[in-house]
Amino acid sequence: MARLQAASLSNRTIKRPRKRKAPDETAAEEEQRAESVEAAADAASASTAATTTVPTKTHDGGKKPRRTKKSDSGSSNPTLRRKTSSSFVESSVPWPDHFTRLQQVYRAMNLVYTFCCTRKHFATTLENIKSTVEGHIKRELLIDDVAQLKALVPSAINFLYVDEAMLEVNLMGSEDNMAGRRANEFRLADPEDREKEEKQKGEVLLFEFVDGDLKRQVQHRKTGEPTRVTQPLRREDLKMPVYSQKQMLNLIEKRNAKFTSAVNQWLNDCAELEQDSVQKLLDEYTVYIPTPSESRASTPGPSDRTSNLPSTIPSERASIPEIVEEIKKLEWYTSQIVPDGHRVFDPQEAICGDLNFQLSQNLVNALYNTRNIERLYAHQAEAINNLYDGHNVIVSTSTSSGKSLIYQIPVLHELEKDHDTRAMYIFPTKALAQDQRRSLKELLRFMDGLQDIVVETFDGDTPFTSRGYIRDEARIIFTNPDMLHITILPQEESWRNFLQNLKYVVVDELHVYNGLFGSHVSFIMRRLRRICAALGNHNVKFISCSATVSNPEEHMRTIFGVEEVKLTDFDGSPSGRKEFICWNTPFKDPGDPSSGRGDTMAEAAKLFCQLILRGVRVIAFCRVRKQCEGLISAVKTELNNLERPEVMNRVMAYRGGYTAQDRRQIEREMFDGKLVGIVATSALELGVDIGSLDAVVTVGFPYTIANLRQQSGRAGRRNKDSLSVLVGDCFPTDQHYMQNPDEIFTKPNAELQVDLENMLCLEGHIQCAAHEMPIRADEDSKYFGHLLPSIAAERMRKDDLDFFHCNERFLPRPSAHVAIRDTEEEHFAIIDVTNNRNAVLEELEASRAFFTIYEGGIFLHQGTSYLVREFSQDAMLAKVERVKVDWTTQQRDFTDVDPIETEAIRAIPGSQSRAFRGPIRITQVVFGFFKVDRRRRILDAVAVDNPPIVLRSQGMWLDVPKRALDIMKQRRLHVGGAIHAAEHAVMSLMPNFVVSLPGDVRTECKNALKEFATRETSRKRPARLTFYDAKGGASGAGIAAKAFEFVDLLLRQACERVAGCHCEEGCLECCCDERCKEANAVMSKAGAEVILKCLLNWEIDVEALPMGPEEGREAAGVETVVEAVEVRPAKGTRVEVVEVKREGGAARGAERVVVGEVGDGGEGGGEGEDEDAVVKVEDDE
């Protein structure tokens, strides 16, 4: 086995001198360890080699037995043994000698491969392991032998040719153990030398098992313990994994038993069919003999693995039911479609309607020539008629139902009558605006007399030299809320001609304007209406289109502040047969839940490729950018495995960060049919027209049911049958919907919420409005509500004529002080320096930069790997070079959320506990990264010296009472998990009291690696529930502050929900969060109940609480949370302690009673001790 220590393939590119091996593990010790494992494995093999069958094992779900207390009598409970989860098949016939010889080969390869997996940077190519295997089987190892093994266990083995360069790990350092070295200590290999070496390299034959892995951990060199997550990586302290003999033997035995079971099944099947088992294997194994890529083109016909795929992508595909059945017949399909997770929706015929007025022949001809339209659908006709009758219109129908015609026809009809008519189309994204402009200009080309009408976009990309011309000459402009807020309304004098003639304002995708963003847009629309009215234009009509939501009519009234609204929600457009499938990622070892879910990206890639190669036009949606790049990379790998590399150029990724030119090109190529598939983030969730789509694959649950329905609606634009697939990830939210697919179809549509009394938002827009045109409080209350007079009196300048003017602190440009959404102006440029190209790949927001680019890391763009060669924070750029590697990098980071000072205090009625409000500091630190292979195994660990990113916000917090900590310690409940669960429980109920959306308020999520570590951590967090505004910068968005007013009711409802939930360990209904950045891995439902009850001073039956540690959440006695120290007010200030007195628990009409003070000079009398307590009675609205 000593020869397996040879340098890996990657060592050929190294430029640094070789270092001596660390003294604590010499080559002799290493070889001795290897021989001991080998001897033990041989002994294990010998114990089972004499027989070909073993007793049948049963399936019990693979759950770890819960720890229990010993009985009072002192007797211990019987030892619990975990049963194997996959059932073993016995053979009904003796084994032929041929299969016994194959078993010997399998056992030898299993042994050698398992040992090689413990060797850092060792590639298990056939060449590397062949001689060692031959030493065990005492004969030559043939490719045919391995191919026959794969034929017997096809899902357990990978045996294929791969690019030798893809196996490189050390692109930046030496071939010896560089674990723990910092990125700047490595000297980069010269790119020209590396390019020459890559050209010299060919393909190698790779062998690997894919049914399970040893659990890898980075270990301390001296103690052998896993290193702490936040511990700085030092070379002298870090060592890559050392595996126990028991770990290795368990995995070897598991694979051996699986092979034996597979052979038994093969023999039983052949006996039942009266076939010669050996001859059948010899007839079928040849399709598993891998072929190099250069010889695949000359291979006659497709192999059996791809035989049901057409040789070229068909122009006319089969029906969706036929394609689904074909996929279900593939060898890798193992019942991924969950029970009750396949739904079929019948097709719908078109229902047409008529207009109450005549369109010109000119317009009728244009509709027919451009879109082949002879009649309007019923919902189109109804909405246009309502608009013609003088109403504002909201249309809430399905995606691709022809909503755009509802606002295009009235505008063109009006322009034919009056060429001075103006219209403003407002879209949430530039891509949507460009798409609709292109569509409208196509119509105008066929309309005599209107061909010269100026139709232009007016957004941040519009050159300043063109803006004056567009303002003066354009009859229709395509813009967004940001430009209306920042440019058009503040410059109303320049836009007066346009605004005086403004007839229609179209706001598409109205459902996007929700929560805080919706509040901002609603005030912008009121500012627009106010200016138009002042200019004498009282005839502006508003047209809105929205996805299907529960309250579209109410939402439109809220956004625009108008009452005359007519809703059209009946969909008359035709639709084809639709199928929806819940597709769950299978376990790594089929039937063994303890093995964990497999690679969701690889699973989605297989499905994606099977669809596009059958002529299905597909879009796949991912939750975040990194997943998007990971999936497009996995798709290209799968296409290569299917011997269809020519299709790679017809599949592209689409996400934020790409340049505008790249995004427009991708949209055009998809629209023109050049692309057969797109992998996208939610950037394409909205209605950008990229042509007809046949299928949508949603990878991982996209946070909300509304998002999922919006994405699913993108399929079926050709009125043909369509498919939507939700691929379940390993996270609790995904698995909840995999186990309860009915909720996807039965949960009510989301209700949109907009808060018009958010003081920060309201004051900002009132100041903007005053700058545009002085405010008269009594008259302008119809636009800004009943709070306007008090805000004007307290926050604005009043002149002698009773007009209010903008406060000086907002001048000279008030709109610049009011950010309507979290957009960043600072971006880092990613520069591709491969072969001295020096081209900008993309631009990355500053807030993402430290989490995405670091020297030595891998940056993904269109699925291609780029090595970060240089990162300059000052120059705001990163230089990257294209490389061929089969691994990626994963940053190691943590986030601390801490209050800075106390500005307000609320006493909890009936309790000594208090809630606090004030500024919050969010500290994000990236301290290193792992190199991770495509099977998510850690190959290496590297430290980086990035400075921390410090953000400011506003929030509230509650310190966990000492009583709660004592109870949890007594019952051995995980404190970190309890705090995390309690925070989620409170946060999930905030929309009940404050108009907000999931994600508007955040908390500090607990990381499993830290919380379940076996070593002490220096990063001990205070026992505190902390919440902060995710938007609004240092001033916050006002949501956490408003929730602070109802903190007693929030705690009460959260406690009742957690205590009353039927689940055992926490679920989405009580204390898990769909958006948890740590995937709800650290949770203690019982502990959360303890914390919430102690904060409320409710009685707790300690003996009735479960005795920990909770299953899967063993803390190994490590303390990660300490008692919180109260955060004091700023120096020199005192803060009143206020208790809210509510009648009958009501949320409104409450009394606020000052019961004490906190600050310099000591705390006041406290609850019930202040004889001169001041009583303030206020309306709590």
Q: Please report the DSSP string for 246-292 in residue order.
A: HHHHHHHHHHHHHHHHHHHHHHHHHHHTT--HHHHHHHHGGGGS---
- The whole-angstrom separation of Cα 916 and Cα 206 is 59
Pull the structure tokens for residue 1063: 């689940």
Dihedral sign from CA coordinates of 468, 474, 480, 486: positive
Pull the structure tokens for residue 400: 């691709």
HEC readout, 1023-1079: CEEEEEECCCHHHCCCHHHHHHCCHHHHHHHHHHHHHHCCCCCCCCCCCCCCCCCCC
pTM over 0.85: no
Q: Which DSSP string corresponds to 462-516?
A: S-HHHHHHHHHH-SEEEE-HHHIIIIITTTTTTTHHHHHTEEEEEE--GGGS-HH
Compute the residue count for the chain: 1181
The DSSP code for 58 is: -
Q: What is the pLDDT of residue 704?
A: 78
The enclosing H or E element of 637 equals helix 625-641
CA atoms within 13 A on the CB side of 1147: 16
Evaluate whether 572 touches 607 at the Cβ level (below 8 Å): no
Q: What is the pLDDT of residue 928?
A: 86
- The whole-angstrom separation of Cα 375 and Cα 354 is 8
- The whole-angstrom separation of Cα 413 and Cα 416 is 5
Residue 1010: CB atoms within 10 A of its CB come to 19
- The whole-angstrom separation of Cα 909 and Cα 1051 is 11
Evaluate whether 179 touches 236 at the Cβ level (below 8 Å): no
- The whole-angstrom separation of Cα 1051 and Cα 1057 is 10
Residue 665: CB atoms within 10 A of its CB come to 14
Residue 469: CB atoms within 10 A of its CB come to 11
- The whole-angstrom separation of Cα 379 and Cα 402 is 9
Q: Which of 522, 592, 612 is nearest to 212 (CA)?
A: 592
Local mean pLDDT, 10-residue blocks, the chain (1181 residues): 31 33 42 48 43 34 36 35 56 92 94 80 84 92 93 87 69 40 43 51 82 50 39 38 71 90 92 92 90 60 58 90 94 91 92 94 93 93 95 89 92 94 90 84 90 91 92 95 95 95 94 88 97 95 88 93 93 91 87 77 95 94 89 91 90 84 82 88 67 88 83 77 92 82 84 84 94 93 93 92 92 90 77 90 82 86 90 88 86 90 93 94 88 77 83 94 95 93 92 78 87 77 95 84 91 93 84 83 93 96 86 62 93 82 56 70 39 33 33
- Residue 390, burial from CB neighbour count under 10 angstroms (0-12, 13-18, 19+): exposed
The enclosing H or E element of 726 equals strand 722-728
- The whole-angstrom separation of Cα 343 and Cα 745 is 9
Residue 566: CB atoms within 10 A of its CB come to 18
- The whole-angstrom separation of Cα 1150 and Cα 1140 is 6
- The whole-angstrom separation of Cα 224 and Cα 237 is 10
Contacts of 693 (CB under 8 A, 6+ apart): 617, 618, 619, 714, 715, 716, 717, 722
Q: Which of 463, 415, 459, 469 is nearest to 437 (CA)?
A: 459
The DSSP bridge pattern shows strands 864-872 and 877-882 to be: antiparallel
| The Cα angle at residue 902 between residues 896 and 908, in degrees rounded to 5 | 100
Pull the structure tokens for residue 785: 């509500």
Q: Which of 159, 1133, 43 is nearest to 641 (CA)?
A: 159
Residue 425's DSSP bridge partners are: 478, 506
The enclosing H or E element of 633 equals helix 625-641
Evaluate whether 778 touches 788 at the Cβ level (below 8 Å): no
- Residue 1099, burial from CB neighbour count under 10 angstroms (0-12, 13-18, 19+): exposed
CA atoms within 13 A on the CB side of 13: 31
Q: Which DSSP string corresponds to 933-971?
A: ETT--EEEEEE--PPPEEEEEEEEEEEPPHHHHHHHHHT
Name the one residue in this structure whose structure tokens are 């609603």. 522
- The whole-angstrom separation of Cα 781 and Cα 775 is 9
Measured CA to CA in angstroms, residue 137 lies from 97, 124, 147, 410, 1042 at distances of: 14, 18, 17, 82, 73
In the chain, CATH 3.40.50.300 sits at: 320-344+576-746, 352-568
Evaluate whether 1114 touches 976 at the Cβ level (below 8 Å): no
Q: What is the pLDDT of residue 76?
A: 34
- The whole-angstrom separation of Cα 487 and Cα 495 is 10
Fold of 352-568: Rossmann fold (3.40.50)
Contacts of 511 (CB under 8 A, 6+ apart): 546, 547, 549, 552, 555, 706, 752
Name the one residue in this structure whose structure tokens are 């396949």. 342
- The whole-angstrom separation of Cα 63 and Cα 1110 is 13
Per DSSP (E only), the strands in 796-886 are 797-798, 804-805, 827-832, 839-845, 858-861, 864-872, 877-882
- The whole-angstrom separation of Cα 421 and Cα 410 is 11
Q: Which DSSP string corresponds to 883-927?
A: ---SEEEEEEEEEEEEE--B-EEEEPTTSS-EEEEEEEEEEEEEE
What angle separates helix 97-116 from helix 245-272, to the nearest 10 degrees? Answer: 150
Peptide bond into 1109 cis (omega under 30): yes
Q: What is the CATH number of domain 320-344+576-746?
A: 3.40.50.300
Evaluate whether 677 touches 714 at the Cβ level (below 8 Å): no
The enclosing H or E element of 158 equals strand 157-163
Measured CA to CA in angstroms, residue 483 lies from 492, 506, 754, 853, 1172 at distances of: 12, 15, 21, 31, 53
Evaluate whether 110 touches 210 at the Cβ level (below 8 Å): no
Contacts of 1056 (CB under 8 A, 6+ apart): none
Q: Which DSSP string corresponds to 64-90?
A: PPPP-PPPTTSPPPPPP-PPPSSPPPP
Q: What is the pLDDT of residue 49?
A: 38
- The whole-angstrom separation of Cα 408 and Cα 371 is 13
